[in-house]
Amino acid sequence: MNIKLLKNDIEKKQFDVEIVLVKNIKNLNKKEKEILKEINFDVKSSDAYFHTNTKKLFIACTVLKKEDLKIAFSTAIRTIKKFKFSTIKINLLQDKKELNIQDMVEGLVLGNYEFTKYKSENKKSKTFKILICTQNSKEDINSLNKKLQDILAITSSVNMVRNIVNTPPEDYYPQIMAEDAIKIAKRDNLECIIHGEEYLLKNQMNAMLSVGRASRHESKLIHLSYKPKEPKGKIVLVGKGLTYDSGGLSLKPAEFMVSMKCDKSGGSAVLGIMNTLKALNCQYEVHGIIGAVENMIGADAFKPDDVLVAKNAKTIEVRNTDAEGRLVLADCLCYAQDEIEDIDYIFDYATLTGACIVALGNQTIGTMGHSNKLKTKMQKAADSSGELIGVLPFNRYLPAMIKSKIADITNSSSSRAGGAITAGLFLDNFIKKENKKKWLHLDIAGAAYSESPWAYNSFGATGSGVRLTLDFIKKLDK
Ligand code: BES
Ligand code: ZN
Ligand code: ZN
């Protein structure tokens, strides 16, 4: 999508369609009022109407900000796609209000996304030229342009993550994820270390190593670091990058296995965040650590009843090989805290449990941790970024459910009750004392992937976690 800011208004012959938001028909000009009254346009029923003569696409939008605005522009661009238009005009001033350019562009770019890589040539989506006329803006064009560039960096990372997650497991396996990390590192001058299975073996990362053992793809621990001069602090992001989760020997039933290419969403979100830091001129040192692994079956598969020793020497009784994400994350969290000193924030991102979807639905990220202050901070980033989070509370009783009779802990609780929280509590075993209050676990199992499109998300991956985290980091400066 090609988006340009213009200082002045443009003539009708210079565009194919103009997007006009309607909050209140009363605020429109006389001609527009007539047009909409004639067709009985209803602002409350999210109507869209294209008027040929004036080239105006009227989109109902009762609130001209934030999520409502993003959804309205997403509806607009999806409507326009059905026609043969290519140049689109938008006035920054709509219905007597100056719109937030970032919400507008976010709705356009995210709403326009479709995964077409595997469609024949004629089914691919077209590119649009969008002209935003700013003649009535109170803000000068340079500052508007800066905001535009920032949101383009963020939304293109979200779409990059969507592409990665939507890519089938045959084409996207740990080595490919590592190569993507290397590409980002080269472009933005980040450090990038890729550790293979030999390293995992040498460093007693037996939990992560076991999960990938039956795969024909070598597991990779990816470590990206962004290090600005005189950083204001240190942030560590750890992602579950299961490029496929068949369940392992505790094999998933057929209907639950479909879509498990989405199990790399946490690691992909970490890639997406790392992909944006330089463009946003981030002042924090940020480490992105991804456990890229494929969970398969075979003669070499790890088994229920195995006892694994993690990097911090804790022993884990495997009772279900489908609870593999926490095994990979356990070692990655240990690695992060062994390698990186003086951490200010440590977040992990994982499509960890079906229980999280049962608890919170398909839109909301389950958030767990020991610090209420940190959870509140993350809630603020959620409120302004538009991503939804819900806190799932730890308590003193639930840890009993992951006790093991023969090892330090078990990877699968004896009961399904509180499954998202017991998974979070499992990870807590791998957080060092000094980092307890700096840690948040984000279960994105519901929010990362959905087969029913919602808001400005299309079928499949949503890019969950990217906007939330970048917003969190941005707020640290304030
Ligand atoms: N990757 C799944 C969780 C998942 C489910 C993600 C649905 C996205 C959509 C995870 O590895 C898993 O299978 N978890 C088990 C844990 C159980 C065996 C303790 C689950 O949620 O059933
Ligand atoms: Zn699993
Ligand atoms: Zn999984």
HEC readout, 398-424:
HHHHHCCCCCCEECCCCCCCCHHHHHH
Evaluate if residue 191 carries a pLDDT over 90: yes
For residue 256, the ligand 1 atom closest to its alpha carbon is: 7
Domain CATH number, residue 30: 3.40.220.10
Per-residue pLDDT band at 477 (split at 50, 70, 90): confident
- Is residue 151, in this structure, part of any structural domain at all? no
Angle at 153 between CA 150 and CA 158, to 5 degrees: 125
The confidence score (pLDDT) of residue 339 equals: 98
326 or 46, which is more confident: 326
Tell which of 87, 108, 136 closes a domain: 136
Pairwise CA distance, residues 242 & 267, whole Å:
8
Angle at 443 between CA 235 and CA 301, to 5 degrees: 100
178 CA distance to ligand 1 middle (Å): 24
- Is residue 239, in this structure, part of any structural domain at all? yes
- Is residue 355, in this structure, part of any structural domain at all? yes
223 CA distance to ligand 3 middle (Å): 20
Q: What lines the ligand 1 site, CB under 6 Å?
A: 245, 262-263, 320, 322-325, 351-355, 412, 419, 445
162 and 46 inside one domain: no
Residue the block writes with tokens 């024949």: 120
110 and 169 inside one domain: no
Pocket mutation for ligand 1, best pick of 264, 322, 412 (most atoms within 8 Å of C-beta): 322
Q: Going by C-beta distance under 8 Å and a sequence separation of 6 or more, which residues neighbour residue 441?
A: 347, 348, 350, 352, 367, 368, 369, 424, 427
Average pLDDT over every residue of 69-77: 98
23-27, 266-270, 354-358, range with the lowest pLDDT = 23-27
The confidence score (pLDDT) of residue 148 equals: 98
Evaluate if residue 110 carries a pLDDT over 80: yes
The confidence score (pLDDT) of residue 237 equals: 99
pTM: 0.98
Task: Please give the full DSSP string across 65-117, using - where no structure is assigned.
Answer: SHHHHHHHHHHHHHHHHTTT--EEEEESEETTEEPPHHHHHHHHHHHH----T
Closest C-alpha to ligand 1, atom 7: 354
183 and 281 inside one domain: yes
**Distances in Å between the alpha carbon of 150 and those of 183, 195, 281, 360?**
21, 32, 10, 31
What is the separation of C-alpha 53 from the centre of its chain, rounded to a whole number of angstroms? Answer: 41
pLDDT digits (tens, 9 = 90+) for 462-471: 999 999 999 9
Average pLDDT over every residue of 394-403: 98
Amino acid at 450: S
Provide the pairing of β-strand 234-245 with 285-295.
parallel
Q: What count of residues does the chain have?
A: 478
Evaluate if residue 155 carries a pLDDT over 90: yes
Domain CATH number, residue 217: 3.40.630.10
Pairwise CA distance, residues 444 & 264, whole Å:
11
- Is residue 146, in this structure, part of any structural domain at all? no
Average pLDDT over every residue of 145-150: 98
Pairwise CA distance, residues 230 & 244, whole Å:
39
Residue ranges making up the domain that contains 419: 156-475
- Is residue 223, in this structure, part of any structural domain at all? yes
Per-residue pLDDT band at 206 (split at 50, 70, 90): very high
Per-residue pLDDT band at 242 (split at 50, 70, 90): very high
Which bound ligand lies closest to the C-alpha atom of 246? 2
55 and 107 inside one domain: yes
Task: Please give the full DSSP string across 411-458, using - where no structure is assigned.
Answer: SS-SSSTTHHHHHHHHHHTTS-GGGGGGEEEEE-TTTTEESS-BTTB-
Task: Please give the full DSSP string across 324-362, using - where no structure is assigned.
Answer: -HHHHHHHHHHHHHHH--S-SEEEEEE---HHHHHHH-S
Hey, how many other C-beta atoms are within 10 angstroms of the C-beta on 11? 7
- Is residue 145, in this structure, part of any structural domain at all? no
Which tokens hold the place of 231? 């950083």
Average pLDDT over every residue of 427-435: 98
Per-residue pLDDT band at 46 (split at 50, 70, 90): confident
The confidence score (pLDDT) of residue 145 equals: 97
116 and 170 inside one domain: no
39-46 own/partner pairs: CB under 8 Å, 24+ apart? 46/75
H-run or E-run covering 295: strand 285-295
- Is residue 149, in this structure, part of any structural domain at all? no
For residue 356, the ligand 1 atom closest to its alpha carbon is: 21
For residue 247, the ligand 1 atom closest to its alpha carbon is: 13
For residue 355, the ligand 1 atom closest to its alpha carbon is: 21
208 and 330 inside one domain: yes
321 CA distance to ligand 3 middle (Å): 9
Provide the pairing of β-strand 409-410 with 315-317.
parallel
353 and 459 inside one domain: yes
The confidence score (pLDDT) of residue 45 equals: 83
Closest C-alpha to ligand 1, atom 3: 353
Evaluate if residue 57 carries a pLDDT over 90: yes
Per-residue pLDDT band at 365 (split at 50, 70, 90): very high
For the chain, the farthest-separated pair of C-alpha atoms sits apart, in whole angstroms, at 79
Per-residue pLDDT band at 47 (split at 50, 70, 90): confident
192 and 81 inside one domain: no
Average pLDDT over every residue of 254-258: 98
Which tokens hold the place of 474? 């941005």
Question: Does residue 298 sit in helix, strand or coil?
Answer: coil
282 and 389 inside one domain: yes
Residue the block writes with tokens 């605005």: 69
- Cα–Cα nearest to 289, from 335, 250, 244: 335
Residues tagged active-site: 252, 326
Average pLDDT over every residue of 99-125: 92
For residue 325, the ligand 1 atom closest to its alpha carbon is: 11
Per-residue pLDDT band at 125 (split at 50, 70, 90): confident
The confidence score (pLDDT) of residue 476 equals: 96
Pocket mutation for ligand 1, best pick of 249, 353, 412, 450 (most atoms within 8 Å of C-beta): 353
183 and 323 inside one domain: yes
Which tokens hold the place of 336? 């992060």
Pairwise CA distance, residues 413 & 401, whole Å:
5
243 CA distance to ligand 3 middle (Å): 9
- Structural domain count, the chain: 2
Evaluate if residue 114 carries a pLDDT over 90: yes
57 CA distance to ligand 1 middle (Å): 43
Pairwise CA distance, residues 126 & 142, whole Å:
29
- Cα–Cα nearest to 57, from 44, 76, 71: 76
Share of the chain above pLDDT 70, in %: 100
Per-residue pLDDT band at 207 (split at 50, 70, 90): very high
pLDDT digits (tens, 9 = 90+) for 214-233: 999 999 999 999 999 999 99
412 CA distance to ligand 1 middle (Å): 11
The confidence score (pLDDT) of residue 325 equals: 98
358 and 415 inside one domain: yes
Ion ligand 2 neighbours, Cβ < 5 Å:
245, 322, 324
394 and 282 inside one domain: yes
Which bound ligand lies closest to the C-alpha atom of 259? 1
Partner residues linked to 58 by β-bridges: 20, 49
Share of the chain above pLDDT 90, in %: 96
Average pLDDT, the chain: 97
Which bound ligand lies closest to the C-alpha atom of 443? 1
- Burial category of 203 from C-beta neighbours within 10 Å (exposed 0-12, middle 13-18, buried 19 and up): middle
Can you list the alpha helix ranges (DSSP code H) found in 138-223?
Answer: 141-166, 174-188, 197-202, 206-211
Q: Going by C-beta distance under 8 Å and a sequence separation of 6 or more, which residues neighbour residue 195?
A: 220, 221, 222, 223
- Is residue 141, in this structure, part of any structural domain at all? no
